[in-house]
Amino acid sequence: DQQVKQNSPSLSVQEGRISILNCDYTNSMFDYFLWYKKYPAEGPTFLISISSIKDKNEDGRFTVFLNKSAKHLSLHIVPSQPGDSAVYFCAASAPGGTSYGKLTFGQGTILTVHP
Amino acid sequence: NAGVTQTPKFQVLKTGQSMTLQCAQDMNHNSMYWYRQDPGMGLRLIYYSASEGTTDKGEVPNGYNVSRLNKREFSLRLESAAPSQTSVYFCASTRTSGFLEQYFGPGTRLTVT
């Protein structure tokens, strides 16, 4: 039972345009969501996170939107750059205590930004 | 400030051999984690340590053991490697309060033949 799903295996975008990466989850106990970027042969790099008490968080070119009622989150990258080409993972964590930081990951979406 | 470091970067084992993957963090984080990533999949949690002196199982713990040596170091041991343990292994660390930001090491690529 996959609790975090990224249904689009790949996304292709033109440089300068918006990239929108989507993620759905099934576990209503998740209260913190994170996005990571991963290049081949490297570890995941933390991009941005959002708590369930918010519906939007921005950091530079990256904005994450959370729709709790739909159990859906999305990452917007504006404007997209060729260096953004990587695999993007969303991840979720249940509330504090010993579950804090135990991340459940989606399968990833390969983003390709064309010059 | 190196963040999270892992050794070795690559390893090839024969079935039945044992090895220990090492991980260290210099961010003074309390919690540390071991994940594995298989082709076409997301990362899956093997074991974690919420604080020094404690460890607990994650989603896929079978065939592994861990040791939280001190606050900085968290090792993962394969006692008798199997081909199904061929994977890329990532160590991570995080604070235990405030905003959740988890930082990953560069990974160890393990092949078991």
CA–CA dist A95, A72 (Å, integer): 18
Name residue B55's beta-bridge partners: none
CA–CA dist A54, B59 (Å, integer): 28
Closest Cβ opposite residue B107 in set A43, A103, A106: A43
Name residue B33's beta-bridge partners: B48, B92
The verdict on A39 touching B (C-beta cutoff 8 Å) is no
The reported pLDDT for the residue numbered B31 is: 92
Closest Cβ opposite residue B41 in set A41, A91, A107: A107
Q: Which residues contact A4 (CB under 8 A, 6 or more apart)?
A: A23, A24, A25, A26, A30, A90, A91, A92, A104, A105, A106, B42
How many beta-carbon pairs under 8 angstroms link A with B? Answer: 71
Q: Which two tokens stand for residue A41?
A: 């042969």
Give per-10-residue mean pLDDT for chain B (113 aa): 92 97 95 94 94 92 96 97 97 81 95 97
CB contact under 8 A, A100 and B45: no
Q: Quickly state the pLDDT bin for A2 (edges 50, 70, 90).
A: confident
CB A60 within 8 A of CB A80: no
Q: Percentage of chain A with pLDDT > 70?
A: 97
- CA dihedral in degrees (A29, A33, A38, A43; nearest 10)? -70
The reported pLDDT for the residue numbered B2 is: 78
Beta strands per DSSP E along A10-95? 10-14, 19-25, 32-38, 45-51, 56-59, 62-67, 72-77, 86-93
The reported pLDDT for the residue numbered B61 is: 97
The verdict on B108 touching A (C-beta cutoff 8 Å) is no
pLDDT in tens, A26-83: 999 998 999 999 999 999 999 999 998 999 999 999 999 999 999 999 999 999 999 9
CB A44 within 8 A of CB A89: yes
What count of other Cβ atoms lies within 10 Å of the Cβ of residue A28?
A: 10
The reported pLDDT for the residue numbered B100 is: 84
Using CA atoms, how far residue B88 sits from A17, A106, B106, B108, B111, in Å, is 33, 16, 10, 6, 9
The helix, strand and coil proportions of chain A, stated in percent and rounded to the nearest 5, come to: 5, 50, 45
The verdict on A89 touching B (C-beta cutoff 8 Å) is yes
Q: Which two tokens stand for residue A16?
A: 């300068």
What count of other Cβ atoms lies within 10 Å of the Cβ of residue A87?
A: 19
Q: Which of residues 28-67 of B touch A (CB under 8 A)?
A: 31, 33, 35, 40-45, 48, 50, 56, 58-59
Nearest to A101 by CA among B84, B104, B17: B104
Closest Cβ opposite residue A89 in set B42, B45, B105: B42
